[in-house]
Amino acid sequence: MADNGSGSKKPATQVVTGGRRKIWTGAVVNPPVWRGSTHLYDDVAHLRDGLKSNDDGRFFYGRRGSPTQWSLAEALTEMEPGAAGTMLYPSGVAAISCSLLAVLQPGDEILLTDSSYDPSRSFADAFLKRMGITARYYDPMIGADITDLFGPDTKAILMESPGSLTFEVQDVPAICKAARAAGIVTLLDNTWATSRFFPALEHGVDIAITAATKYIVGHSDVMMGAVTTHSKYWTRLRRTAQQLGQVVSPDDAYLAARGLRTLDVRLRQHEASALKIAHWLKDRPEVGLVLHPALPDCPGHEIWKRDFSGASGLFSFELSDGDDRSRAAFIDALSLFGIGYSWGGFESLALPVDPAKHRTATEWAGKGPLVRLNIGLEDPDDLIADLAKAFEHYHGAKP
């Protein structure tokens, strides 16, 4: 969508008003669910007219969406100053893989952060490899020195900042500056911060990817991905998504748009609660490092302070003298934290994570087993009481 109406609205206002064009909402507040595969034309001339533009906002055929999807895409575009448009995908992984397919071709090389989400790695190591594309990994703390890795075939860099298990905050502006000078396209998995806390394009990123499944949807009931980019890559991104048949259902788009309206207030609460809990954990004798970008233990904390306007609710901490068994006892003893994948929803989650097995360019130097927490919207004091109780079980199971 060419119209980026970011204007001067503050983020909390943007998420409330974004994409709510009168022509899409009609007389109600939320753009209704427009279900449809076939779109009907008045006559043959009208049908032929439909072929003249590939923009959102024109009825064509169900795979190109309807006002429900267009409205959500436009709202996400408005959150990224400088963006030309947003494509929606049926999952965050689809958003990552389709973005990479849009910019790479056989013979190319891609650099990925060693802290990448595991399915991003496996897409690069297996699928892209099969296409004759080489993947190399870099230290997430590399910054401007990434130029040392550039070769004649390096065409793209996939960043993730912070990493979703170990939370290193990358110097995204420095990496993007170096890449741009070398004609290399930059992609960022921006799921943790969202455009709310880190408007990626403003920081030099070419292609901003969000697993909307997490904070955008916010209610753990929809899978979705979104990719926002500026005009240079917009046509390519859109064409590739269409060639790969990417479409999200209007029901899912409706729920994601509904989630988006409360993103600002939810993120601020996730931030406050997660910080309170992270500080509390930091003072516990059982805890080693607390890997939360807003705490000094976290690699890249200074970069987070410089570049981000907030922190979301996902972080990890190390059990300083535990093992896998005592970590399991700790997690199993929690009652307010669910055990499960994903994050960004209103409910808290705890997960054992083992980053060492996903590293190739760097060694994970952690001293104890890691637990990742998704801090939801429960009262943080209740969550702290739950964690305190679980530490008793942890002591009982310690080696």
Ligand X SMILES: Cc1ncc(COP(=O)(O)O)c(C=O)c1O
Q: Which residues are part of the catalytic machinery?
A: 63, 117, 189, 214
Among 73, 172, 175, 211, binds ligand X (CB under 6 A): 211
**Residue 225 Cβ, how far from ligand X at the closest point, in Å?**
6
**Residue 253 Cβ, how far from ligand X at the closest point, in Å?**
14
Among 93, 157, 241, 295, binds ligand X (CB under 6 A): 93
Q: How many residues sit in the footprint of ligand X (CB under 6 A)?
A: 13
Residue closer to ligand X (CB basis): 151 or 340: 340
Q: Which stretch, 51-59, 70-78, 90-98, 391-399, contacts ligand X (CB under 6 A)?
A: 90-98
Residue closer to ligand X (CB basis): 184 or 216: 216
Q: Does 18 bind ligand X (CB under 6 A)?
A: no
Give the Cα separation of 125 and 136 in Å (integer). 9
Q: Which residue has the tokens 């267009």?
A: 70
Residue closer to ligand X (CB basis): 117 or 394: 117
Residue type, 86: T
Among 100, 142, 193, 223, binds ligand X (CB under 6 A): 223
> If we measure between CA atoms, which residue out of 67, 59, 62, 55 comes closest to residue 22?
67
**Residue 40 Cβ, how far from ligand X at the closest point, in Å?**
33
Query: Which residues have CB under 8 Å from 104's CB, separation 6+?
Result: 110, 128, 131, 133, 155, 156
Query: Which residues have CB under 8 Å from 40's CB, separation 6+?
Result: none
Q: Is 157 helix (H, G, I), strand (E, B) or coil?
A: strand
x/- map, 27-66, ligand X, by CB under 6 A: ----------------------------------------
**Residue 350 Cβ, how far from ligand X at the closest point, in Å?**
15
x/- map, 177-196, ligand X, by CB under 6 A: ------------x-x-----
Q: How many helices (H) and strands (E) does the chain have?
A: 15, 12
Q: Does 225 bind ligand X (CB under 6 A)?
A: yes
Among 186, 213, 316, 348, binds ligand X (CB under 6 A): 213
Give the Cα separation of 168 and 297 in Å (integer). 10
Residue closer to ligand X (CB basis): 201 or 223: 223
**Residue 95 Cβ, how far from ligand X at the closest point, in Å?**
8
Q: Token pair for residue 365? A: 């130097």
| 8 A C-beta contact, residue 376 and residue 348 | yes
- Give the CB-nearest residue to ligand X: 92
Q: Which residue has the tokens 């060492």?
A: 356
x/- map, 153-172, ligand X, by CB under 6 A: -------x---x--------
Which H/E stretch holds residue 77? helix 67-78
x/- map, 286-315, ligand X, by CB under 6 A: ------------------------------
| 8 A C-beta contact, residue 160 and residue 113 | yes
**Residue 111 Cβ, how far from ligand X at the closest point, in Å?**
17
> If we measure between CA atoms, which residue out of 280, 267, 281, 291 comes closest to residue 344?
267
Give the Cα separation of 309 and 317 in Å (integer). 22
Q: Does 135 bind ligand X (CB under 6 A)?
A: no
Q: Does 91 bind ligand X (CB under 6 A)?
A: yes
Q: Which stretch, 1-9, 89-97, 171-179, 365-373, contacts ligand X (CB under 6 A)?
A: 89-97
Q: Which stretch, 17-25, 31-39, 88-96, 255-263, contacts ligand X (CB under 6 A)?
A: 88-96
Q: Does 85 bind ligand X (CB under 6 A)?
A: no
Buried b vs exposed e over 222-252: b needs ≥16 C-beta within 10 Å? bbbbbbbbbeebbebbbebbeeeebbbbbeb
Residue closer to ligand X (CB basis): 327 or 372: 372
What order of strands is seen across the sheet that includes strand 338-339?
Answer: 287-291, 314-319, 370-374, 349-353, 338-339
Give the Cα separation of 191 and 314 in Å (integer). 11
What order of strands is seen across the sheet that includes strand 109-113?
Answer: 85-89, 225-229, 207-210, 185-189, 154-160, 109-113, 134-138
Q: What is the binding site for ligand X (CB under 6 A)?
A: 91-93, 117, 160, 164, 189, 191, 211, 213, 223, 225, 342
